[in-house]
Every structure is written in structure tokens, then in C-alpha cells.
């Protein structure tokens, strides 16, 4: 959303921000004594835009400028008393006395302001600016320090102000409410990682850039054929090696040519075999092993079976060993009529979905609806499905928030399915409020004719370090969704996965549900190693999203 007034209208030659001519406000400014305001040295304020909503940023700037114009006008007209608070906006953090920011972590602040500069400034929240302008004096910083690690430095730069009074406490409370209104909610876009801070040479994939389409996309697709073959054959260690290599190549900032080959030795996870494959691709535009695999009839059959909802590599190999080779033969084996599915699955809400009978039901549904489920879903339809699901959920529980994960979150224009991660906005009681909602929501969606089949459903589990293949603190339902016949959207069956998470693990769940098949497992494993000593490790272990869903 654009600013109400362009920032450049404040920019001066010295980097400070000065006001444009505006009519004065009728607000009265109070102080204990008048003074010559033109001779005063103002407090220079730098407002750091990062993590501040554009409307909030515009509001803060105009508050300062309106206040200053009114102060100057009153001084020249000789009316009333003049506030002791004299502020001047600046566009240069180094020149500022005070930095106003919504950032709370020192490491993130230092992405925008050098640490040597930050240590010499008072680093305060937007609430300090609002409350000081309201009170007409610079309030003590103690209750407004933005970054805990820099609190001592902030207090050392505190102006000579009176003690915090009940009045200023009340102001702070009201201002804090205002500030909270701009905090990121789960359904709002969050701050995008600054790509320049990521290195393509980093060992951990979670620290490397990973564009949706990379400069070496053709090479990635060629290596992915080999990775996929290893996955289908159950060679997980080899598959993981190729996944790591793919994530490294995706991060490489330019097309790999002959002159770049010597640089590849500096990159992680590219052994001699991968290096020779890349050399071959640079020279011929193909990798012989990948082309051989692509032409192999076994690979073609296993790949076709693996596309069916409910069939993974193990089941695909079992079916192949039974002599089945095509999807048509699979339909005959399971006695399925294409496009017709009369399998009753709503009973799975009360039964186990891990029984052999339940798994067979899922495969039959996946086969019967495979033509519908193979159609991709546009971003507008994904968003409308999310809106519809959340509208139905609001009838059961108010205050829930959601984020669309999966390929949609990775930026894909067309998705294969819809992944919706849901939590409650109540941080303290949210974990209790979302407990059991998954089944209730699926039941309601089924009653409304929106969910036609339930493929899998599971409830919350207490964390168990010995179990690494469930999502701790998550409930999930894998469903088939279809619009009503009177909808403007075509009645095509869609895969919709509903994931409920407690507030404290919500964003971890979003990461887990957003990982793609190519590099998702490698990303998850390296993320675990990266933070395996932190408190979040217990939750990361459970976020093997694509593996669990499959």
C-alpha cells in the first residue's frame, strides 16, 4: 500500500527529512515554559522502515511533521506555550539521536544498521514516538527499548526527562495497542528474506537462496530424473545425495559454463560423480544416465503409479512386482471405473486411517479421480478455496488464522494441491482452541458438500523423541474438495490438505508444509542439524511434511 505522502517530499540535501508546507493542526501543545524554538537543537529521529507496515510508517512520519509545523507556527505567532519536545526526521541513521524500529532482534537490526552505529543510538519502538508526541516531552526509554541486547546502550542515551508517570503509562498502553495492530498476522505477507544476505556457497540449504526457476534449471531437471529414480527404487541415501546437489545448483547465481567448472569444487555436496555429470551436461546439454533412466520401462511404470494419490514408492514397486505396468491395468486390478468413486470415507473421522482397508480405499479414490486430481489449480482458485474453508471454520471457532503453504507459497502460478495451515490468534489459549478442530471442520465441509472424500486424518500427538515420522503438535486432514454444482468454479476434484498447529509452532508448520519434493527432505534434515541444539528442534523433527503426506 503506498504512503499517503511520498517520502521524497521530506528529503533534504543533508539526508534529513523536512516538512512540506501544510496547514497547521488545531491540537494544543503544552509545556512548562516558552522558548526560542529556532535556536534549539532538535532530537534527530530515524525511522527504520523494515517490519513497519507502510500505513504505520506514513502515520509516524506525518505525526512528527504535523507536530513540528504546529510547534513552529505557535512559536512565530507567540501564542500559548511551546513543547520541550523538538524532533526532526532524518534519513541517515548515523546522524540520528534516536532510531525508531519494530525490529526486536539485534541480529536482524544489524542487517539494516551497522552495529557500531546502533550502539551509539537510543533504539526504541514506535510506541515511544507516539507517546512522546502525545505528552509533549521525550519520555524515558526504559519501557520502550526495542532490542533487549541493546537496552543498556539505549538507556545511556536517555534524555533528561521526568520519571514515568501514570499518565505516560496509560499513553504507552494505548500506543502499544496501536502498535500491535500492525504486527504480522498469519494471513498477512511476512518480511521477505534479503537474498543478498544468502550465500550460494553456504553448507546449509536453509541459508542458500532457492529460486523457483534457477539459471541452471535444465541441469536441475536432468539430475532430478536420477534423484527420482533413486527415490522410486527405495535408495534413500542416494536420493538424498542428489537432493542436496540439486539444492546447491539451484542456488548458483548464473548459468554454469566451462569457465565456471573450477568454482564448483568450492561448493558443498558436489562429489566427483556429480562433478562429472555437470561437466557432461555443460558439454552436451544432457546427462547420459538420466536419459537412460527416462527411457526405462520400469521407471516409466513406477513414475506413473507414484502419481496416484495414496501410492508411494513401496506400494508402486509391489504393484510392479505383481506384473502391473500401466494405470489402466491398475484400474482393472482395483476394479475401479474412471471418474466414478462411491467409496465412503467420512467414517474415517472416527476410525484409523492406517489400516490396510483404509489405504486401499485411498488408492481406489485416487485412481478413480486421477484425471480430475491431475489438473493444476490457479492461484485465484487456491485463494478462494482457502477463503471458503476459513469461512466455514468461523462457524465453529472464531479467531482462527491461516496461511496457504505448499507450491502456492513457493510462488508457483499453478498448484497440484492446496495446503492450508491453520492456527488461532490467541497466543496463550490457542493451542487448546485448535485442538479437535480438524475433525469438526472436515465434518462441516462434508455436510456442506465441499469435501467429498477423506483420505487421511490424524490428531495431535504428545512429543516423543523416538517417533520422528509424525508431526508433533499438529492435526491434519488430507481431503478431496469439490465446488458445489451452482458455483462459478468448475466442479473439479481438488486435493486440499488441512493442517492445524498450535500458535507457538505455527510458522514451523508453514515451513514444513511448504517444502517441495525435490529439496524438501534435504532442507528439513539440514535445518534440523542447523538448529539441533535449540528449543525448536523438537518441532522441526516432526515437520517431514511431504514424506508424511505421501
Residue 402 has pLDDT above 90, yes or no: yes
Where b means 16+ CB within 10 Å and e means fewer, 197-236 reads eeebebebbbbbbbeeebebeebbebbbbbbbbbbbbeee
Residue 529: its pLDDT value, please?
A: 61
Whether the pLDDT of residue 496 is over 60: the answer is: yes
Name the architecture of domain 375-549: 2-Layer Sandwich (3.30)
**Non-local CB neighbours of 349 within 8 Å, separated by 6+ positions:** 439, 442, 443, 454, 457
Q: Where are the alpha helices (DSSP H) in 448-542?
A: 506-514, 520-530, 537-540
pLDDT value at residue 78? 53
Beta bridge partners of 457: 477
Where do runs of H (alpha helix) occur along 78-216? 106-109, 115-118, 126-135, 151-156, 166-180
Provide the phi-psi class of 436: left if phi over 0, else alpha when psi is between -120 and 50, else beta.
left
pLDDT at residue 63 greater than cutoff 70: yes
Buried-exposed string 490-504: b where 16+ CB fall within 10 A, e elsewhere = eeebbbbbbbbbbbe
pLDDT > 60? residue 34: no
pLDDT at 385: 97
Residue ranges of alpha helices (H) inside 339-462 are 356-368, 370-373, 379-394, 406-409, 430-433, 437-447
pLDDT band at 36 (very low <50, low <70, confident <90, very high): very low
Is residue 61 within 8 A of residue 17, CB to CB? The reply is: yes
Strand, coil or helix: 123: strand
Residues 6+ apart with CB under 8 A from 69: 19, 22, 24, 25
pLDDT of residue 47 exceeding 90, the answer is yes
Identify which of 478, 480, 491, 477 has the alpha carbon closest to the alpha carbon of residue 453. Answer: 480
Report CA-CA distances (Å) from 452 to 71, 301, 455, 481, 494. 66, 29, 10, 6, 10
Q: What confidence tens digit (pLDDT) does each residue in 464-483 have? A: 444 444 444 689 999 999 99
Reduced to 3 states (helix: H, G, I; strand: E, B; else coil), residue 441 is helix
Q: Looking at residue 66, what is its pLDDT?
A: 78
Bigger pLDDT: 425 vs 30: 425
Average pLDDT taken over every residue of the chain: 78
**pLDDT > 70 in the chain, percent:** 71
Q: How confident is the model at residue 3 (pLDDT cuts 50, 70, 90)?
A: very low
> Is residue 34 within 8 Å of residue 109, measured between CB atoms?
no
Judged by DSSP in three states, 1 sits in coil
Are the CB atoms for 100 and 125 separated by under 8 Å? yes
Domain ranges for the chain: 7-180, 195-295, 375-549
pLDDT at 147 over 70: yes
**What backbone phi and psi angles, to 5 degrees, belong to 424?**
-115, 145
Between residues 461 and 544, the one the model is more confident about? 461
Task: Return the closest-CA partner of residue 456 out of 471, 440, 478, 482.
Answer: 478
Question: Which top CATH class is 7-180?
Answer: alpha beta
Q: Is the pLDDT assigned to residue 7 strictly greater than 90?
A: no
pLDDT (tens digit per residue) in 158-198: 654 444 444 445 544 544 444 443 344 454 445 556 666 67
What is the rounded average pLDDT of the residues 242-247? 92
pLDDT band, very low/low/confident/very high, at 142 (cuts 50, 70, 90): confident
- Residue with the bigger pLDDT between 72 and 423: it is 423
Q: Look up the pTM and report it.
A: 0.63
- Answer yes or no: are the C-beta atoms of 379 and 473 closer than 8 Å: no
Amino acid 168: pLDDT:
47
pLDDT in the model for residue 21:
38
pLDDT bin (cut points 50, 70, 90) of residue 291 is very high
320-338: pLDDT as tens digits:
999 999 999 999 999 998 8
Same fold yes or no, 7-180 and 195-295: no
In degrees, to the nearest 5, what angle opens at C-alpha 236 toward C-alphas 234 and 241?
Answer: 140
Sheet holding 122-124, edge to edge: 87-89, 43-47, 98-100, 122-124
β-partners of residue 481 are: 451, 494
Please report which confidence band the pLDDT of residue 458 belongs to, taking 50, 70 and 90 as the band edges: confident
Query: How does DSSP classify residue 146?
Result: S
Alpha-carbon distances of 541 from 160, 239, 467, 534, rounded to whole Å: 51, 19, 9, 12
Smallest Cα–Cα separation from 411: which of 265, 201, 209? 209
Is the model's pLDDT at 528 over the cut of 70? no
CATH topology of domain 195-295: DNA polymerase; domain 1 (1.10.150)
Residue 156 — very low, low, confident or very high, per pLDDT cuts 50/70/90? confident
Among 60-69, 127-136, 471-480, 528-537, the range of highest mean pLDDT: 127-136
Residue 457 to residues 22, 396, 422, 541, 549, Cα–Cα distance (Å): 61, 18, 15, 20, 10
Q: How far apart are CA 130 and CA 56, in angstroms?
A: 11
Amino acid at each position: 500500500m503506498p504512503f499517503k505522502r511520498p517520502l521524497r517530499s521530506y528529503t533534504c540535501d543533508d539526508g534529513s527529512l523536512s516538512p512540506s508546507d501544510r496547514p497547521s493542526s488545531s491540537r494544543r501543545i503544552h509545556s512548562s515554559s516558552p522558548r526560542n524554538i529556532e535556536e534549539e537543537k532538535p532530537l534527530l529521529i530515524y525511522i527504520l522502515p523494515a517490519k513497519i507496515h507502510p500505513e504505520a510508517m506514513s502515520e509516524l512520519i506525518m505525526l512528527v511533521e504535523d507536530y513540528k509545523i504546529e510547534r513552529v507556527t505557535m512559536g512565530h505567532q507567540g501564542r500559548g506555550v511551546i513543547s520541550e519536545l523538538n524532533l526532526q526526521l532524518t534519513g541517515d541513521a548515523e546522524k540520528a539521536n534516536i532510531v525508531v524500529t519494530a525490529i526486536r532482534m539485534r541480529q536482524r537490526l544489524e542487517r539494516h544498521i551497522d552495529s557500531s552505529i546502533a550502539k551509539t543510538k537510543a533504539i526504541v519502538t514506535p510506541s515511544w514516538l507516539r507517546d512522546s508526541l502525545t505528552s509533549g516531552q521525550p519520555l524515558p526509554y526504559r519501557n520502550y527499548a526495542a532490542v533487549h541486547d541493546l537496552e543498556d546502550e539505549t538507556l545511556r542515551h536517555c534524555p533528561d526527562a521526568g520519571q514515568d508517570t501514570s499518565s505516560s503509562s496509560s499513553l504507552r498502553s494505548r500506543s502499544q495497542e496501536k502498535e500491535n495492530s500492525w504486527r504480522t498476522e498469519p494471513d498477512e505477507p511476512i518480511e521477505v528474506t534479503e537474498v543478498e544476505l544468502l550465500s550460494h556457497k553456504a553448507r546449509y540449504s536453509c541459508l542458500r537462496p532457492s529460486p523457483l526457476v534457477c539459471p541452471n534449471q535444465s541441469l536441475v531437471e536432468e539430475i532430478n530424473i536420477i534423484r527420482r529414480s533413486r527415490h522410486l527404487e527405495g535408495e534413500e541415501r542416494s536420493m538424498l545425495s542428489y537432493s542436496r546437489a540439486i539444492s546447491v545448483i539451484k542456488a548458483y547465481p548464473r548459468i554454469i559454463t566451462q569457465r565456471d567448472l573450477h568454482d564448483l569444487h568450492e561448493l558443498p555436496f558436489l562429489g566427483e560423480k556429480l562433478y562429472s555429470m555437470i561437466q557432461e551436461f555443460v558439454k552436451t546439454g544432457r546427462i547420459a544416465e538420466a536419459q537412460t533412466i527416462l527411457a526405462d520401462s520400469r521407471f516409466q511404470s513406477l513414475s506413473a503409479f507414484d502419481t496416484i494419490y495414496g501410492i508411494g514408492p513401496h506400494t508402486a514397486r509391489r504393484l510392479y512386482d505383481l506384473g502391473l505396468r500401466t494405470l489402466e491395468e491398475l484400474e482393472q486390478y482395483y476394479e475401479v471405473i474412471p471418474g466414478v468413486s462411491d467409496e465412503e470415507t467420512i467414517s474415517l473421522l472416527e476410525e484409523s486411517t492406517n489400516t490396510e482397508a483404509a489405504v486401499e480405499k485411498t488408492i481406489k479414490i485416487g485412481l478413480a479421480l486421477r484425471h480430475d486430481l491431475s489438473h493444476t489449480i490457479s492461484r485465484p482458485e487456491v485463494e478462494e478455496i482457502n477463503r471458503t474453508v476459513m469461512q466455514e471454520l468461523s462457524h465453529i471457532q472464531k479467531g482462527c488464522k491461516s496461511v496457504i503453504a505448499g507450491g502456492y507459497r513457493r510462488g508457483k502460478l499453478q498448484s497440484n494441491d492446496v495446503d492450508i495451515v491453520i492456527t488461532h490468534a490467541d497466543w496463550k489459549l490457542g493451542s487448546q482452541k485448535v485442538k479437535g478442530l480438524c475433525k469438526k471442520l472436515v465434518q462441516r465441509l462434508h455436510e456442506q458438500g465441499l469435501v467429498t472424500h477423506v483420505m487421511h486424518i490424524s490428531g495431535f500427538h504428545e512429543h516423543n523423541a523416538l517417533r520422528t515420522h509424525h508431526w508433533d503438535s499438529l492435526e491434519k486432514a488430507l481431503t478431496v474438495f469439490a465446488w458445489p454444482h451452482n458455483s462459478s468454479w468448475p466442479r473439479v476434484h481438488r486435493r486440499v490438505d488441512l493442517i492445524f498447529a498450535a500458535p507457538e509452532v505455527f510458522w514451523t508448520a508453514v515451513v514444513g508444509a511448504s517444502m517441495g519434493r525435490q529439496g524438501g527432505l534435504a532442507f528439513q534434515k539440514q535445518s534440523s542439524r542447523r538448529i539441533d541444539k535449540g528449543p525448536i528442534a523438537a518441532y522441526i523433527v516432526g515437520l517431514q511434511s511431504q514424506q508424511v503426506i505421501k
